Amino acid sequence: MTTRFAISLGAILLAIIVVMQGVYIVPETHRAVLLRFGGMVESDIEAGLHFKIPFVDVARKFDIRVLVMDLPTKSYLTGEQKPLDVDSYATWRIVNVGQFYRSTAGDENNAVRLLESRIDNGLRDQFGRRTMHEVVAGEREELMEELTKSLDQIARAEFGIEINDIRVRAIELPTRVSDSVYERMESERLKIAQQHRSQGEEQAEAVRAAADAERTVIDANAYKEAEQLRGEGDSVASKIYADAFSKNPEFYSFYRSMGAYEQTFSSKGDLLILQPDSEFLRYLKQPQGASQGN
């Protein structure tokens, strides 16, 4: 009884193992290929319950959801031979698991390396045909779309992979180039500042020259007007003197002599040597102001 039970139990366990080995389930998010002695006998197996030959067939399952691949930052030359450090990524998914298995041996790391090589060459080619302005701003979107479309066709045919998108996260100048660009920008700004200073000095000189010319004109006009007023005043004074002289010549002569005395003896150190009978001393010798002839 014990031997029969053991044999029955063994047969049941063997049957269970055989059944388990002959059945496999493909999740909704995956597709599978069936291998027999290492050779692929069936590909693109849909999701669901499937059967295989126990201990002979092997089912390999592959995720067909969209995957993200971060690309290493690399330096590319633009059409102007200017280097740019580019940080990018790509999204992809398996659309033909049979082709994917044949080209990559079913290893996702192999697929990543193959895609990375193709994308690297594509970016190098796209950047080399454009200027720095175009790849940074002008045609950046067009560049990504063109690269995605061309590489998607290659990846589908060679690897059974669909490339959904290739995007550039950041484009930067290499450190050595950035330093030289900043230095050039600084020198250009200094040059512009110097030009502004020179223009300011030139304008300032023009304003000063205009102000000096205007001042000269104002001074000349003022001097002219002063001379005219002075001449008019002298004319009026002369007329007054002439009128006074005509009315009282002796008083006019006395007044003129007093002015001459005041100017002559204005300083204590003044010294004047004259003959005693000099006409200049007439009113000093005759306090009453009478002339010698009177």
267-291 residue pLDDT tens: 666 666 666 666 666 666 665 544 4
Give me the pLDDT at residue 228, please: 87
For residues 43 and 104, state if they share a domain: no
For residues 167 and 97, state if they share a domain: yes
Structural domain boundaries enclosing 88: 67-172
Nearest CA among 174, 128, 133 for reference residue 147:
128
For residues 6 and 31, state if they share a domain: yes
User: Is it the case that residue 163 has pLDDT exceeding 60?
Assistant: yes
Residue 143 pLDDT level (bands cut at 50, 70, 90): confident
Q: Which residues, other chains included, contact 86 with Cβ-Cβ below 8 Å and sequence gap of 6+? A: 73, 74, 75, 76, 123, 127, 168, 170, 171
Q: Is residue 101 part of a domain?
A: yes
For residues 102 and 47, state if they share a domain: no
Q: Which residue has the higher pLDDT, 83 or 245?
A: 83
Q: Is residue 236 part of a domain?
A: no
Residue 96 pLDDT level (bands cut at 50, 70, 90): very high
Q: Is residue 270 part of a domain?
A: no
Q: Is residue 144 part of a domain?
A: yes
Residue 214 pLDDT level (bands cut at 50, 70, 90): confident
Q: Which amino acid is at 195?
A: Q
For residues 71 and 148, state if they share a domain: yes
Q: Which residues, other chains included, contact 126 with Cβ-Cβ below 8 Å and sequence gap of 6+? A: 135, 143, 146, 147
For residues 104 and 24, state if they share a domain: no
For residues 32 and 84, state if they share a domain: no
Number of domains the chain is built from: 2
Whether this model's pTM surpasses 0.75 = no
CA distance 116 to 285: 130
Q: Is residue 93 part of a domain?
A: yes
For residues 76 and 20, state if they share a domain: no
For residues 57 and 131, state if they share a domain: no
Instruction: Check which CATH number belongs to the domain holding 102 and give it.
Output: 3.30.479.30
Q: Is residue 6 part of a domain?
A: yes
Q: Is residue 110 part of a domain?
A: yes
Which is it for the CA torsion 213, 215, 217, 223, positive or negative?
negative
Q: Which of 63, 80, 97 is the last residue of a domain?
A: 63
Residue 70 pLDDT level (bands cut at 50, 70, 90): very high
For residues 78 and 160, state if they share a domain: yes
Q: Which of 27, 47, 63 is the last residue of a domain?
A: 63
Q: Is residue 241 part of a domain?
A: no
Q: Which of 63, 82, 106 is the last residue of a domain?
A: 63
Q: Which residue has the tokens 């990559």?
A: 104
For residues 108 and 164, state if they share a domain: yes
